[in-house]
Amino acid sequence: MGPRDPNVEEAARDRGQLLIDIALVVWPSFLAAGVASLLFFAAVDPQILRDAGPRIFDNLNREAGYALGFFFFWIIAALASSLSVYMIRSARREARPPNREGGGR
């Protein structure tokens, strides 16, 4: 087997880190959306929201209201999780000591 290309190894490592970051965003936000939907719809009926909302929701049935609410909460939680992952990754990058071989990164 020939010498390894460091660019290929770095790209594979970055791809693996991206998949980990996606999992760190999607799974917790999914769980948070489930809990938020449970708590919100325990107190609020989607039919009431349909009647009080814009005309675009006039034909929305109860199940579609639950689904729409869940996806709304999922998006909000995913945005919060994304911001957390971004802040953690950027703080680690700044705290990393410079690479002695090829300068700082």
Cα–Cα distance between 100 and 72 in angstroms, integer?
47
Helices 6-43 and 62-95 meet at what angle, rounded to 10?
140
Whether the Cβ atoms of residue 66 and residue 40 lie closer than 8 Å to each other: no
Give the model's pLDDT for residue 102: 55
Give the model's pLDDT for residue 3: 62
Cβ atoms within 10 Å of 72's Cβ, excluding its own: 14
Cα–Cα distance between 6 and 93 in angstroms, integer?
20
Structural domain spans, the chain = 30-94
pLDDT, tens digit only, all 105 positions of the chain = 556 766 777 777 778 888 999 999 999 999 999 999 999 999 999 888 888 877 777 888 889 989 999 999 999 999 999 999 999 888 877 777 766 655 555
Give the model's pLDDT for residue 29: 97
